[in-house]
Amino acid sequence: MNENLFPNPLKKGDKIAIISPAGAVDLTQLEKGINMIKSKGFEPIIGEHLYTKFSNGYNYAGTEQERIKDINWALNDKEISAIWASRGGYGCQHLIQHLNLKGFVKHPKWYIGYSDNTVIQSYLLKKGFASIHGQTVKTSSFGVTEKSYDLIFDILKGKTPIYNLKSNVFNKKGNIEGQLIGGNLALIYALLGTKYSFTFKDKILFIEDIGENFYALDRMIMSLDLSGVFNKIKGLIVGGMTNMGDQKENKSYEESFDPFVYKLISERISKYKFPVVFGFPNGHIKDNRPLIIGGNVKMEVQDTIKIEF
């Protein structure tokens, strides 16, 4: 485990900042999550612009300046012990050039989120800090399991997860160990070629996504291939691929793992020798179990699968 990347465990009474770095939310969408944080013995601290709305081709949670102000407050306030994103959506790319870690490096804290928050997590890892790729405070329209949240609180308190998974027909066997990177595929793709992109060499890459046409998904995988990502990584974990393809409107969110998407990805990476796990329960799915971006992970892919931090 990369101890130097991990913030100190939280204690009862510690303060967790809730901010909206991307899409807009309202109180009704966060009420359940905020009450849960209180019930676990922590104090939720509301960002100034948590419920602000600004429409500019998309419903953002405030202007860029307002969202930058909130995230830099949360990152640098020494009384804050963790930062939990209200939701994803789109907008984190607006913030990345303006992040200030002056206070954060003295008092590192967990950043929790997924989807668009992959951008922030890539930035933090480039600076040497791990984060939690897990469920946001907003409880999604397709629901969230209690276990998904409980495992996040376990990590906050210093306990790292171990996952035992069912085998998948598309898996590729092998045992490896390395640092976990990644998150939402669309954002990994969007950062390629920028200084904010993940460093892929000798890493284990995790990907998940939602609502993409099959050709768009293929384009992103092809871009990773053409940019040399698959030549550099030592393992791949594929999570939820939800509501995909040309018939998205007819698909249920319960279809967490689109088999055609798995087949497409499997074919694209067939020439590479690294082990692959398909069907990991993380992403835009109900059973969204947290992963530690920047954590050291042991990955055993045989007839049974074990992933341990």
The per-residue pLDDT of the chain, averaged, comes to: 94
288 and 149 in contact (C-beta within 8 Å)? no
Which amino acid appears at position 166 of this protein?
A: K
Strand 174-184's sheet: what is its strand order?
162-165, 305-308, 296-301, 174-184, 204-210, 235-242, 276-278
Mean pLDDT of 123-149: 92
**Which residues 6+ apart lie within 8 Å of 262 measured at CB?**
168, 170, 238, 241, 278, 279
Q: Is the pLDDT of residue 59 over 80?
A: yes
3-class DSSP state for residue 250?
A: helix
pLDDT (tens digit, 9 = 90+) per residue, 34-52? Answer: 999 999 999 999 999 999 9
How far is the C-alpha of 275 from the C-alpha of 233, rounded, in Å? 10
Candidates 162, 184, 292; CA nearest to 241 is: 184
pLDDT of residue 255: 61
Give the global pTM.
0.95
Residues annotated catalytic, as ranges:
115, 208, 284
CA distances from 95 to 72, 76, 91, 98, 185 (A): 9, 15, 7, 5, 19
How far is the C-alpha of 47 from the C-alpha of 32, rounded, in Å? 17
What is 162-308's CATH superfamily? Answer: LD-carboxypeptidase A C-terminal domain-like (3.50.30.60)
Mean pLDDT of 199-207: 98
Q: Does domain 3-156 have CATH number 3.40.50.10740?
A: yes
130 and 295 in contact (C-beta within 8 Å)? yes
pLDDT of residue 279: 96
Strand 110-113's sheet: what is its strand order?
43-46, 15-19, 80-85, 110-113, 131-133, 291-293
Mean pLDDT of 275-283: 97
Q: Pairing state of beta strands 276-278 and 291-293?
A: unpaired
pLDDT (tens digit, 9 = 90+) per residue, 235-259? Answer: 999 999 998 886 555 455 446 888 9
Map out the domains of the chain as residue ranges. Answer: 3-156, 162-308
Give CB contacts under 8 A, 24+ apart, made by 37-40.
37/84, 37/137, 40/153
Tokens of 249: 């409107």
Mean pLDDT of 283-306: 96
